[in-house]
Amino acid sequence: MSKRFITALLALLLIGVQAFAQSEVSGKVTDQSGEPLVGVNVLVKGTTNGTMTDYNGNWNLNNIRHNGNCYYDTDWYMIRIAETYLLRAEARLAQGNKNGAAEDINVLRNRAGARPCSASDIDIDYILDERVRELFGEEQRWITLSRLSCNPNATYVLDKYPTQNVTTSNTLYERTRKYGYGYENEDRGREAYTDALGNTRHRPNIKPYNYVLPIPIQIIQSNKDKKIEQNAGY
């Protein structure tokens, strides 16, 4: 397990801080899905002045110096055995061993009391869906979908996502368009569609080239011996 240290100045998305020229500071600690984190230690950096989050993830500190920064630490998942099974299931799919992939996935489904899957269920979509069910709120989803996009070694995705390029389509682009939408579900010029429950949703403004990130301009400009081309689309 790793320790996460985030100053209040940089943690505004996770901790609502009322700081600066005050002697009292309060906030809330949540995980990536917005659920409160209970029992997290919150300290003023460089001091022993600290407290712990309550049942709702809230915390409050008194006698804060004007230039004091708060930070918190808590255990955080990096990898766990469930993802190991899912990665091996994907490797077995790549080998054409769908029976083995189903066996790995059923280790998790049996633990959860879910209906076992069979070899006939297995394809890359099933494995990606199972990753969502098992790792929701933990997985770095962009990384998973990125490595399965425009990857010449990931031929096992081609039956579901045959087009793999930076201009037309790839795995990340198609999966995000199919399942992704902003929590606020606002129009903002985005393409509308009707989901299975009859609700109007708006597809994310994602492009195929977003399966990779832009190269920072500082990196491009600092390489004096060879020109580095920016990733396509940026």
The domain spans of the chain are 2-76, 79-139, 145-213
How far is 169 from 69, CA to CA, in rounded Å?
45
- Give the single-character DSSP code of 157: G
Q: Is the pLDDT of residue 21 over 70?
A: no
What pLDDT, in 10s, does the model give residues 146-187?
999 999 999 999 999 999 999 999 999 999 998 887 666 777
Cβ(36)–Cβ(3) under 8 Å?
Answer: no
Cβ(173)–Cβ(207) under 8 Å?
Answer: yes
pLDDT band at residue 71 using 50, 70 and 90 as cut-offs? low
Place of tokens 């491009």: 220
Query: Which fold does the domain 2-76 belong to in CATH?
Result: Immunoglobulin-like (2.60.40)
Nearest C-alpha neighbor of 210 from the set 128, 142, 162: 142
Distance from chain centroid for Cα 90? 19
What pLDDT, in 10s, does the model give residues 193-222?
888 889 888 888 889 999 999 999 888 888
Look up the pTM and report it.
0.65
**Selection from 60-69, 129-138, 175-184 with the highest mean pLDDT:** 129-138
Question: Three-class SS of residue 192?
Answer: strand
* The predicted structure's pLDDT at residue 47: 75
Cβ(114)–Cβ(129) under 8 Å?
Answer: no
